[in-house]
Amino acid sequence: MISAVCPRCKEPILDEAVLLWNDRHYCRSCVEAISPDLYTFATEGGQLVDLLEPDDISVSQYWRRFQFKVGIAGGLLFLLPLTVMLIRNNAPLEVVIGFQGICLSFVMFYCWWISCGKVKHFRTHLPRKVVLERLHIKVVTPDGEQTSLLTDCQWKPGTSSADEVLFATSLKQGMTIYTPDAVINCGHSSELLKPWCAFFRLVELPVYTPSRFQNFLSLVGGGVAGYLVGLLSGKLYAIELNNPAWEFLLPILGVLDGVCLVGLSIISRKPSSRLADQLLHPALWGAEFFKMGGSLGFFAGFRLGIPSAIISCLICGSLNAIIGGFAAWHFRSQLQLRKKNMVLRAPEKQASKAGYRYEV
C-alpha cells in the first residue's frame, strides 16, 4: 500500500509515486528535484549495484600506486642512518652509493613480492558485489554476505584508503560507503555513480566528513612528541652504552612510534567499527613495532659487531613490540566499550528514529 505522504517533503503525494530502494514511495517532484536521471533510472527498474571482478585488479597497479611509494619512503628512512654511519667512518663514496643501490634494489624487490601476495589475497575475496535493496546494503563476496541497515551507514564522495583493494585497480572510485563492517569504494561506473549519489542525497544519508586537518595535526604532534622522547632516551643510551649511534637512531624510532600511536587512535574512531576492531589486533601491531624497533636496534649495535647487533635488535624490538601491542589493546578495548554502550542504547536510538526519512 502506497503511503499518502512523501517521506522527504512530508506533503501528500498528488502526482506519480516513485518506489525507491528503501521500500518507500516518494513524490515525483522530490525525486526530480534531486536528479531527473534518478527518476528515470528508478521508473525503468534500475538497480543500485556495484561490481568488482578479479580481472579488474593487477599486481603492477598495486605496486605502482602503493608499494613503490612505501618502498621508497621506507628504504630512504632506514638507509639514512646507515649512510651517515658509513660517512662518519670515512667509507669511500663509491661504497656508499653502491650500498644504497643494493639496499634500494632489495627493498623494491621485496615490495614487488609483497604486491604479488596482496593481489593474490585480494582475488580470493572477489568478485565483490555491493547491492542496495529493501533498506539494506549487501556486500556479497566468495566469503559470504554482509548485510547492513542503511540507517547504520554513512557515505562520502571520493575514495578512502581504508579499502586497500582500490590501489590495485585502475577503475574509477566515485564514492565510499561506510558500513559497520567495512569501508567500500564504489562508483566504478559513471552511469551508476549518479543514481547512487542522488539517492543518498534524497534520503539524506549522513555524509562522513573525516577531520583530515585535525588528524594531520595530531600525527605531526605525535611525531614531535616521539622525537623529543627519543632524543632524550638516545642521549641517555649513548652515554650508558658508550654507543653514539643510539643518539641518532632513537629519535627516528620515536617519530615512527609517535605517528603510529596517533594513527591507532584515529583508527579506533573510524565509523566501520568491525573493520577497526580487526585493524587494532595487538599481535599485528606488536609485530609492526618489533620490526621498527628491531631494525633500528640492529643498526645501532652493528658498529660493535654482529653479536651486539643481534642483541640490540632483540631487546629494542621486544621493548617496542610491548609498546605497540599494549597501545593496540588499549584502543581496541576503548572501541569495544563504545560498541557495547551503543548496543545498550539501541532501543532508545530506534525509538528516536520513528519519523526518520528513510526508516521503514
**Pairwise CA distance, residues 328 & 314, whole Å:** 21
Residue labelled with grid coordinates 563492517: 181
User: How does DSSP classify residue 271?
Assistant: S
For residue 225, the model assigns a pLDDT of: 92
Determine the straight-line distance between the first and last CA of the chain, rounded to whole angstroms: 13
Cell readout for 170 is 585502475
User: How does DSSP classify residue 205?
Assistant: P
**Pairwise CA distance, residues 358 & 198, whole Å:** 14
Give the three-state DSSP class for 129.
strand
Cell readout for 101 is 643501490
CA angle 275, 278, 281 (to 5 degrees): 150
Exposed, middle or buried, 286 (CB in 10 Å: 0-12/13-18/19+)? Answer: buried
3-state secondary structure 134-181: CCEEEEEECCEEEEEEHHHCEEEECCCCCCHHHHHECCCCCEEEECCC
Q: Which one of 3.40.50, 1.10.3470, 2.30.29, 1.10.1060 gives the CATH number of domain 49-57+127-209?
A: 2.30.29
For residue 355, the model assigns a pLDDT of: 38
**Pairwise CA distance, residues 295 & 288, whole Å:** 11
Residue labelled with grid coordinates 542522488: 198
In sequence order, what are the beta bridge partners of 5?
A: 12
Helix H or strand E encompassing 51: strand 48-52
For residue 335, the model assigns a pLDDT of: 77
Residue labelled with grid coordinates 567500500: 184
**Pairwise CA distance, residues 50 & 128, whole Å:** 8
Give the three-state DSSP class for 26.
strand
Whats the size of the chain, residue-wise? 360
Cα dihedral value 78, 84, 90, 93, nearest 10: 70
117 contacts: CB under 8 Å, gap ≥ 6: none
For residue 322, the model assigns a pLDDT of: 93
Q: Are 167 and 66 in contact (CB under 8 A)?
A: yes
For residue 273, the model assigns a pLDDT of: 59
Q: Are 168 and 61 in contact (CB under 8 A)?
A: yes
Cis peptide upstream of residue 127 (ω within 30 degrees of 0): yes
> Where in the chain do CATH 2.30.29 domains reside?
49-57+127-209
Q: How many CA within 13 A on the CB side of residue 173?
A: 23
143 contacts: CB under 8 Å, gap ≥ 6: 125
Segments in the chain below pLDDT 70: 1-3, 15, 77-78, 80-91, 95-96, 271-278, 338-360
Exposed, middle or buried, 77 (CB in 10 Å: 0-12/13-18/19+)? Answer: middle
Residue labelled with grid coordinates 575475496: 125
For residue 89, the model assigns a pLDDT of: 66
Residue labelled with grid coordinates 621493548: 319
**Pairwise CA distance, residues 193 & 199, whole Å:** 10
